[in-house]
């Protein structure tokens, strides 16, 4: 497993911590920041510990509705986020990634439906971490 993937999984675990998940879910489904601004985390301590931040993109997307009771071809509106490395990160692998790619390079793009459940949100983050 690459160092970045390990750091990504650790970050997802921190976000999905029972003390943080409700706040994180709200910030991803109903972001209160403008495009290009960090949605989560926002504290310097969390940026340092988690090592990544998620910036809100300047658009939303229609994504397939994969819920069990959805009609065939149905879609949902999703907020789009850019998973980026935090310059404040303590992780050696994240610092190396920043040196190679820059601190504003997008590691991955996430799509979080505006009506996502906590379970869907968890699955989106875990799947994204696996793809690092």
Closest CA to 11 of 113, 90, 115: 90
The size of the chain, in residues, is 132
What are the extents of the domains in the chain?
Answer: 3-130
pTM assigned to the model: 0.91
In this structure, are residues 81 and 108 in contact, taking their beta carbons and an 8 Å threshold? Answer: no
Q: Looking at residue 105, what DSSP letter applies?
A: -
pLDDT of residue 1: 58
In this structure, are residues 81 and 56 in contact, taking their beta carbons and an 8 Å threshold? Answer: yes
- What's the pLDDT tens digit per position in 48-91? 989 999 999 999 999 999 999 999 999 999 999 999 999 999 89
């Amino acid at each position: 497993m690459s160092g970045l993937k390990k750091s990504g999984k650790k970050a997802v675990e921190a976000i999905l911590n029972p003390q943080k998940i409700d706040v994180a879910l709200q910030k991803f489904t109903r972001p209160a920041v403008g495009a290009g601004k960090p949605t989560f985390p926002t504290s310097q301590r969390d940026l340092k510990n988690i090592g990544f931040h998620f910036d809100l993109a300047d658009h939303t997307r229609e994504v397939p509705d994969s819920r069990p009771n959805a009609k065939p071809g149905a879609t949902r509106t999703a907020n789009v986020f850019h998973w980026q490395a935090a310059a404040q990160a303590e992780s050696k692998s994240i610092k190396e990634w920043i040196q190679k790619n820059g601190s504003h390079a997008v590691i991955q793009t996430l799509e979080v439906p505006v009506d996502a459940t906590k379970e869907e949100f968890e699955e989106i983050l875990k799947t994204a971490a696996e793809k690092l």
